[in-house]
Amino acid sequence: MLVSYNHRMSSTEPIIFDSRVEPFMKNGYLVVDPDSYAVYIDPGDEAPKLVDWATKHKMRVTAIANTHGHLDHICGVRTVKDKFDVPIYLHPADEDLYNRLSQQAAWFGLTYPPAPPVDRFYQDGDLLRVGKLEFRVHHTPGHSPGGVCLELGEHIFCGDLIFLDSIGRTDLPGGSYETLIRSIREKLLPLGDEKILHCGHGPDTTIGRERKENPFLNERI
Ligand SMILES: [Zn+2]
Ligand SMILES: [Zn+2]
């Protein structure tokens, strides 16, 4: 299935669409407000299909928001930018990674053209507004220097910081295991157990579930 329909609690709540394709199976999210204003979070290889789908359903895509600068999360930025010509957001600490998209692709034996330049940099504590949606930006480095979590009410788009029963890898340039664990403990967990985590890979989970069950956070181990 191209697009999975995740959440709609009431008519005033955002709708979240999630799509993933080979080779990275990275989740690309289109988050849409009640007036069809939308932000595309982490455009990757699924971007052509999700852009076509958004166009067909008359979504007003007004921003591209990246959780971090890794290849699988940014290789579709050009497709979205070419179609909608909207600002690209990133944390400045990942600009160097972002600007080396082609080099990152070469690490995997792949070829991608460079991504278009970042238009706006968001910092810890900033608010990203898209229509009626307000995302709070949390700088959560460790998987990459400029990784962010984007908090929208009960929803958190956490990139590759944490996954169901796992955490982001820290062996890529700029990664740090200690920094990542600190980001999770000091920045993410305090946001509350009930928050839903929309991860960069794999299924959704919650902060409470990971706080209790994630083997990387379980102090009993
Ligand atoms: Zn990553
Ligand atoms: Zn990823």
- Write out pLDDT tens, residues 19-51: 888 888 899 999 999 999 999 999 999 999 999
Distance of CA 74 from the midpoint of ligand 2 (Å): 9
Distance of CA 200 from the midpoint of ligand 2 (Å): 5
User: Which of the four pLDDT bands, split at 50, 70 and 90, describes residue 6?
Assistant: low
Does the pLDDT value for residue 1 go beyond 50? no
Closest ligand to Cα 44? 2
What pLDDT, on the 0 to 100 scale, is given for residue 16?
85
Distance of CA 167 from the midpoint of ligand 1 (Å): 11
Whole-prediction pTM value?
0.93
Does the pLDDT value for residue 174 go beyond 80? yes
Q: What is the mean pLDDT of the chain?
A: 92
* Strands (E) located in the chain: 4-7, 15-19, 28-32, 37-41, 60-65, 88-90, 120-121, 127-130, 133-139, 148-152, 155-159, 162-163, 166-167, 196-199, 205-206
User: Which of the four pLDDT bands, split at 50, 70 and 90, describes residue 9?
Assistant: very low
Closest ligand to Cα 173? 1
Distance of CA 161 from the midpoint of ligand 2 (Å): 9
Looking at beta carbons, which pairs linking 179-183 to residues 24 or more positions away fall under 8 Å?
Answer: 179/141, 179/142, 180/141, 180/142, 180/143, 181/142, 181/216, 181/217, 182/142, 183/140, 183/141, 183/142, 183/147
Distance of CA 159 from the midpoint of ligand 2 (Å): 7
Closest ligand to Cα 24? 2
